[in-house]
Chain A
Amino acid sequence: MWLAVAYVPAGYPQSGADPLVQAEALIAGGRHAAAANLLQRVQTTNPSARGAYLLGFALIQLYRFEQAESQLRHALESSPNEPDWRHALARTLLEQGKNQAALDELKRALDLADKPEFHYAKAMCALNLGRLDVAEKALEASLGLSPNQPEALYKLGKIQIDRGDYQGGIERLRQAVERNPDHVEARFLLGLAWRHRGNLEAAASAFQAVLERLPGHVGALFNLTSVRARQGRDEEAETLRERFETATALQDQIDFLRAGIRKEPGNAVARLRLAELLLDTGRGQEALEALLAARQLSPTNPAIYHLLARVFALRGNEARARQASQIAQELEGRP
């Protein structure tokens, strides 16, 4: 959702074509480094606002946010009324921890165009700033424009649960799971909500559904252990506790890899392994961050895209999952 950009056409570059069209094709194919190289050459010889925008967008994919911000600001100087460009600029700001500035850009973007992804991005900024009310309204606005967004429904449900409104959260999370039955985090939160509502069997079912998809999900193991203990099913609780302890023992490996990455930040393989471990323990967001960093370092490694596809799928972002899977297959030489 966050990465969806309206302008990207499908296809691959063709010789003799407009270089900006070629760059767009490269971006659409996930070849962001090639696109950035091409666009940097083009911007040197024949600069344009659109070229700066495309370059900024490609740089975002390469985790070069400061440079991306510079390009996008340059593009917006000439064309201040391009809502998608402001949206992209907001993203670079958000990735750099400039949440308030990102929120301001999104407000400007929304003045120009009322798009669901803009509202969604606004919600992400507001969440980072701890402003749940703003985030909730933005998510509702996004869903009002485009109801079929499992991730937005999940986030809205999470806000309600974080406030202690378990019943409201259950409703939203059910909708999220209906739209994407593999949304592990939505199922997990559903389990928490049921548990707090006192429906231990419904909670257990939700946690089991999580574990069917991610057997090492520490949150599901932790809570299912507790539910079974409260139900007096001590033997089952003990087995689950052991599974939980085993899953959390992966933390030592995670710490080890993180220490190694601190010493050798350019090690894409270590980042990939870290992402696998994080995903195995149900830490999808951290896994995604590790994978995106790995992708920046090793953009042609298909294993990274395979895992990205899995992370996106488990987080409910089917479009991104398909895209990542497609890139992985192409990198492996498969049609």
Chain B
Amino acid sequence: MNGGRRSATAFWVLAATLSTGCEREVPGSGPAATPARQPPAGTYFIDVSVHAGFDFKHAHGGSGKKYLPEIMGAGGSALDYDGDGWIDVYLVQSGSLPGAGGGQALSNRLYRNRGDGTFEDVTEAAGVGDTGYGMGSVAADYDNDGDPDLYVVNFGPNALYRNDGDGSFTDVTALAGVGDRAWGSSASFFDADQDGHLDLYVVNYLEFSVESHVDCGTPSKGILSYCSPDVYPAAADVFYRSRGDGTFADRTNEAGLTAANGKGLGAVAADLTGDGWPDLYVANDSTPNFLYVNLSSGSFRERGVALGVSHNEDGMTEAGMGTDVGDVNGDGHPDIFVTNLSNETNALYLGGSGFFTYATRRSGLYAPSYLPVGFGTDLLDADNDADLDLVVANGHVIDNISLIDDAQSFAQPGQLFLNDGSGVLSLVSPELAGDIAAPKVGRGTITLDFDNDGRLDLVITENNGPARLYRNVATAGNWIGFELETKGANRDAIGARITVAASGRSLSEEKKAGSSYQTSGDPRVHFGLGAATSAMVTVRWPNGDEVSYGELSAGRYHRLER
């Protein structure tokens, strides 16, 4: 069991202090999780769940009535909750649907990374076994005390767990005033008004209750299916602005985050317009996606249609599920990726010059994403060759879909796409993608480097099935990673933009808290460097200060402070 928060100084080695900031080295690679078998040469991901003691199994509590929330969860978060330099994993459970009668309440689980490739379940000691009907979570240091807290998004009241810094958490939902009761899906922490205190956006899905449930499918033939979201009205999202004292106020209306009819499932906050202020992108299911542009004041205007990111290229809404932001084509502008339903395609919107361009076709993503139902997704450099690759967790929402369409299946392979450096993404064969390509009812993706070897690993959650830990075993290039800290305000430096330049190539990435589908990933920012052994590093901190850190070595995580 975890004996409490460890002293960070035992793990962090001060490497350099610069006039404009501070740079420290963080732990290197630890003992790797031993794979149960040797993967074929060229394999990317292998399932190490069993060896790692990663035994979480999601249960949706299915009643046979096909209540829609059953099929939608659940996600989780990567976080270093005890500050030992090893990334831990929090996984969200659903259990018994409120109002459906019966069933055992199950709780979310926190898995502590022992640093030797294995994990231990510390849920009880940590006090984060939320028993709500869970959907997602996001981790960030909302109270600026130097450790990550957890916000849990439920079908029903959400919960905020404050990290007490001693290995345990306290449920401060009521105190903080963030217990929204709607059907939530995802959430993002970000500093909307740049006052140094993280605000919180909660993405809500539908107005559903067991009482309002509608039988879908072909009830006359005794065939029930999970309904389309068209059947239920949208539930409005909620924006909580931090008061700076650990409490929040619902400022959804004042902030202008009120676009109508958003059946939201995923969200990501990032500076999408290049003005230094965080914007907000919301993936909505069957209704237009939202791009809330920050008006440089912490209030927003929805401009999805005007900027070309609300619909697909045919002007049609799609079933937005998960979303992520990153510079896919390496032009310095952030791009948006959204996963969608089958018989649609996932959507890639390339940013630049004030507009976004729908690039699903030209990027090579059209055909490979036409049949699968995409949920979780992350843009990550899986092979450290200095460009962003793409992972997508797939799984249908209709468990008997193969009765209706033989081109479809309920469990579907996860997908890995490799970037050629220009934004063209090629699907990796299932043999080489490895165990992530095994069919599953995929939902959340959590990118993390659990063994600190600089190759990004994955957790993929499954609806009503096990969450799996996949170790990246790719033959990969060099890499560099960063942990950021702003002293005093927005301590996690959410919204900071890091640029690394190496071998004539410049790459930028923004620190986020909440993306994909119902998840948040490794709090560190990672770059592949290819053959380069060092990189010139610049950080635009959330307050707008741009600081150059000179040339930093590859092959390690650097801690940058401001």
Footprint of B on A, CB under 8 Å? 97-101, 128-130, 132, 161-164, 166, 188, 192, 196, 217-223, 225-226, 229-230, 241, 244-245, 248, 251, 255, 258-259, 262, 282-283
Contact = CB atoms under 8 A, between A and B. Distances in A.
Given A97-B406, A99-B407, A229-B355, A219 B230 contact: no
Given A219-B313, A219-B314, A226-B355, A255 B230 contact: yes
Interface of B: 214, 216, 230-231, 288, 305-306, 308, 311, 313-317, 355, 361-364, 366-367, 370-371, 404-407
A132 B369 CA distance: 12
A162 B362 CA distance: 8
Contacts of A229: 306, 355
Given A162-B366, A164-B363, A99 B308 contact: no
A130 B407 contact: yes
Given A230-B355, A241-B305, A251 B367 contact: no
B406 A245 contact: no
Q: In this complex, which of A128, A166, A220, A283 has the most chain B Cβ atoms within 10 angstroms of its Cβ?
A: A128
B313 A225 contact: no
9 contacts: A97-B406, A100-B407, A166-B362, A192-B313, A218-B315, A222-B313, A229-B355, A248-B288, A259-B231
A163 B406 contact: no
Contacts, number: 83
Q: In this complex, which of A128, A196, A222 has the most chain B Cβ atoms within 10 angstroms of its Cβ?
A: A222
A258 B227 CA distance: 12
Contacts of B305: 222, 225, 241, 244-245
A222 B311 contact: yes
Given A97-B404, A163-B361, A163-B367, 12 more contacts: A99-B407, A128-B407, A130-B371, A166-B362, A218-B314, A219-B316, A222-B314, A225-B305, A229-B355, A241-B305, A259-B231, A282-B315
Contacts of A98: 406
B316 to A, nearest CB: 7
A40 B364 CA distance: 50
B406 A101 contact: yes
Given A101-B406, A132-B367, A248-B288, A259 B230 contact: yes
Given A255-B230, A258-B230, A220 B315 contact: yes
A217 B311 CA distance: 14
B366 A99 contact: no
B331 to A, nearest CB: 16
A331 B405 CA distance: 35
A192 B316 CA distance: 14
7 shortest A-B CB distances, which residue pairs? A222-B315, A218-B315, A97-B405, A219-B315, A219-B314, A164-B362, A130-B371
Contact of B361 (A161, A218, A226): A161
Contacts of B306: 225, 229, 241
B38 to A, nearest CB: 32
A218 B407 contact: no
Contact of B308 (A220, A226, A251, A262): A226
Nearest to A193: B361
A259 B315 CA distance: 22
B369 to A, nearest CB: 9
A229 B364 CA distance: 26
Q: In this complex, which of B216, B315, B404, B406 has the most chain A Cβ atoms within 10 angstroms of its Cβ?
A: B315
A161 B367 CA distance: 11
A129 B371 CA distance: 8
